[in-house]
Amino acid sequence: MPDILNDYFEALNRLIRGKPVNVPKGTKITNDSVSLEAGRKKGTIKKSRPIFSDLIEAIDAAAKAETKPGNELQSKLDKVKAQAAHYRGLWEEALAREMSLVKQLWDEREAWAKERAALSDGKVISMRKPSRVLNPKRDS
């Protein structure tokens, strides 16, 4: 029986190193993948068999070690994506404020142009330069 366990432990080591022979590279480390890598059938490693207790502990430890870096990278990626989304939101808010101010300025310029046109129609007399027609005493 120890030879069988050696086959399983060698298969586990190949999976940990990322150089499997019987399963595709990048296969998740599980009891079934170790048994397939060892050249056995799926499900041959069972928790109910006491001979496999050390092997199952080693497989569980390797699986935790395998998923830990991935989780760290995924959490970093999620954090950076959230930060990028936050800054994109701030940027879009700033653009909305700027566009609002541009529209307000445009509306004010149009209103001023209308008022200026109304003032220069000739219906309103400028108070700065009095007309000679309106002030005859000054001409004498």
pLDDT by position in tens, the chain (length 140): 567 788 889 999 998 888 888 888 888 888 899 999 988 888 888 888 888 889 899 999 888 887 666 677 888 899 999 999 999 999 999 999 999 999 999 999 999 998 888 777 766 566 676 555 555 555 54
Q: Quick one: which H or E segment has residue 64?
A: helix 53-119
Six token digits for residue 131: 């007309």
Report CA-CA distances (Å) from 96 to 81, 99, 103.
22, 5, 11
φ, ψ of residue 13 to 5 degrees: the values are -65, -40
Report pTM: 0.49
